Chains A and B, each alone.
Chain A
Amino acid sequence: MQASILKQRDYLIANIQAALADEDLKRLRDAVVTQVGEHRARGVIVDVTALDVMDSFAVSTLRELAHMTRLRGAETVIVGIQPEVAFAMAQLGLRLEGVTAALDLEEGLAYLNRRFKRTAVRGAGPNPGRRA
């Protein structure tokens, strides 16, 4: 499968490396939902930078992933939606609904850190999250 799941502290980072067929995307969804329990993850980041198309199936599968992980007690952030992909999604009327999106991996981690009130990995200081 053209995707990998890495563990960083109590976050899972699912990185999609190339266009995924429907079955691969479903497998990724199921793997993330399972691994949230195995690693006792509290946050999940799905990096879709490499996806050049997000059609109705991709969007609904990512929504399911986020809702399923939420039911397992972890928060999901989708990162890396490319500008032209965002444009096509908006034209098509596709929505992430209740799912959080962030610009890139760094912003996704910052969001989760803020959410769990955690000091950022690189940043020191009492107010983690946004860095210059």
Chain B
Amino acid sequence: MIGPRSAGETKGSLLPADQEITVPIASELDIVAARQRGRAMATQLGCSPTEAALIATAISELARNIVLYAKHGEIGLAITNGGGRQGIMVVARDQGPGIADVSRAVAEGYSTSGGLGIGLSGVRRLVDEFEISSEPGKGTTVTVKRWRR
């Protein structure tokens, strides 16, 4: 859960990195919930409205992939620190069918859903760091980070 800021904390100060939220994704209704939580976290971190919109859009696409391909899964959201920077980390996890050819799935313009999803390549353009691990029959985990500018 997002807790209230502690007294005396100023905007731009280092927020604790242990804040984590997990949003279960089981239907299209959860997509909206996940991106709203992500936007709130980005705003709390001091991200600009544009950055918050980029993060919310990336979450929306990742959550949509879960609904489309795996039916259910979860979106983990956390504030992350690294190299003196702070950012938002989004982990999209499912136990769905997995992706047989990961490098093809992240290739530019690749989508199996008839053009509905813009695919993982689109999400990749919205974030600074992008990692995917997938095993056919076991599921997929996509981890993305976007640092606050």
Contact = CB atoms under 8 A, between A and B. Distances in A.
A21 B122 contact: no
Interface string A77-118: 000001111011101111000000000000000000000000
Interface residues of A, number: 23
Q: Interface range on chain B: under 10, 10 to 19, 20 to 34, or 35 or more?
A: 20 to 34
A99 B29 CA distance: 27
A82 B53 CA distance: 10
Contacts of A54: 57
B53 A92 contact: no
A93 B49 contact: no
Name which of B52, B57, B125 has the most chain A CB atoms within 10 A of its CB.
Answer: B57
Interface stretch (A34-42, A55-63, A66-74, A123-131): A55-63
**Chain A residues touching B, majority SS:** helix
Interface string B86-99: 00000000000000
A63 B56 CA distance: 21
What 10 A-B pairs have minimum CB-CB distances, sorted nearest first?
Answer: A84-B53, A55-B60, A22-B28, A88-B57, A84-B50, A92-B122, A56-B118, A88-B53, A53-B56, A84-B49
